Structure 1
Amino acid sequence: MSVRIDEMDRNILAELQRDASQSLDEIARAVGSSKTPVWNRIRKLREGGVIGQHTVVLDAEALGFEACFFVLIRTSEHEADWQNRFLEALRARPEVQEAHRLAGEIDYILKVRVKNARAYDVFYQALISEVRIYNVTALLSMEEIKSTTMLPLQGR
């Protein structure tokens, strides 16, 4: 289903991205509308697949997940069977926050959040025991400068 998105929809989406716990009244007030039209637009955007899963953003460090690694993976295997096993292994690991297949010399990049370097090694050993990987480079993030899930909706 293709959804046409206008300026009002973008404003509603921006408010939801900023704080999805707002009431309909608060969102309507912020976008200069009333509650019912805002609710109808939100419903349309959900049904159209524009709005997905509702989640809460947690503070990883406050919960003891102090190490963030970016893992660069090169493989010499590109068969469907290998890729299926690799993707299953990634999906089964809650430490993997993001996984991307890349163009270029690196085949995949993972964002892995763990408590410390030992926990990363446990993750790494488990992964390489399940799937054959040609080369792995792990880069420890020293400081998170910016992290957001918000899309730049305004000014399009």
Structure 2
Amino acid sequence: MQRLGEFIERQHSSSLPSHELSTQYDTSLSGNFTDFCLDRPYIRSHDRQMAVKLDRIDCRILDELQKDSSQSQRSLSDKVGLSQNACWRRLKALEASGVIKRHTVVLDRDRLGVGLVVFSMIKTRHHSAGWLKTFRMHVSAIADVVDFYRIGGEYDYLLKVVTRDMASYDEVYKRLIENIELETVTSFFAMEAIEEQRPIPFG
């Protein structure tokens, strides 16, 4: 297991970009990591391709990014107690190691007029590799499907659909069942989002 600092030094030079970074970082994590890290000098990030150790400063960086990922590099480095140079190297290392997967933003569905959330459970009799490939491509082509899981248990797949209203969901449903054989499609309509995009547990 290698320390993240060693990974940083090998992967990145010490030069800081001429402009301040204000990119929005999707840590895929929210919540307060600082308290979680207080009694843990290092936290392991388990990845199939790479395993790195997150120290307290890394946790503070992730904590600050999930609070405000649009803040400038200077603001972030001041909050975590690093120079801009050192903070930039740690950010790049977190990206390279896969802890930060991509850059994105969180949007307000209601303000965009897509407040209806539907969870669709799907059961199928088909489980061949060819059929699964076709089905995955078919579902992935439907933009209203924002999450798509293969699951165990009574059903085979779980979809999260975000759309405008019942009429628009009906169009999604028609596209979903078009030209593909499914045994059962059972849909549940969300009345209220009590908790959403909660932190991913790790450590």
1:113 aligns with 2:162: yes
1:69-119 deviations in Å (ceiling 9; x for gaps): 000111111111111111101211110110111111111111100111111
Give the equivalent residue in structure 2 for 1:63. Answer: 112
Q: Comparing 114-123 with 144-153, which one deviates more in the overlay?
A: 144-153
1:17 aligns with 2:66: yes
| 3-state SS of 1:151 partner | coil
How is 1:129-144 mapped onto 2 (pairs within 5 angstroms)?
Answer: 129-144=178-193
Give the equivalent residue in structure 1 for 2:151. Answer: 102
Instruction: Tell me the CA shift for residue 149 of structure 1.
Output: 5.7
Q: 1:70 to 1:114 in 2, by over 3 A?
A: same
The one-letter amino acid of 1:66's match is: G
1:42-75 deviations in Å (ceiling 9; x for gaps): 0111112221221111111111112110001111
Report the Cα distance in structure 2 between the residues aligned to 1:128 and 1:38, rounded to whole angstroms.
49
1:17-49 deviations in Å (ceiling 9; x for gaps): 222111112212222222111110001111122
Runs of 5+ consecutive residues of structure 2 not aligned to the other structure: 1-49
Give the equivalent residue in structure 1 for 2:39. Answer: none
Q: TM-score when scaled to structure 1?
A: 0.91
Q: Comparing 27-36 with 127-136, which one deviates more in the overlay?
A: 27-36
| 3-state SS of 2:54 partner | coil
Over the matched positions of the two proteins, sequence identity in percent amounts to 38
Instruction: Tell me the CA shift for residue 3 of structure 1.
Output: 2.9
Report the Cα distance in structure 2 between the residues aligned to 1:114 and 1:27, rounded to whole angstroms.
35
Q: Which has the higher contact order (CA 8 A, sep 6+)?
A: 1
TM-align CA RMSD: 1.5
Instruction: Tell me the CA shift for residue 150 of structure 1.
Output: 3.9
Give the equivalent residue in structure 1 for 2:200. Answer: 151
Report the Cα distance in structure 2 between the residues aligned to 1:131 and 1:2, rounded to whole angstroms.
40
| 3-state SS of 2:121 partner | strand
User: Residues 72 and 109 of structure 1 are in contact (CA less than 8 Å); yes or no, is this contact kept in structure 2?
Assistant: yes
Q: TM-score when scaled to structure 2?
A: 0.71
Instruction: Tell me the CA shift for residue 151 of structure 1.
Output: 3.1
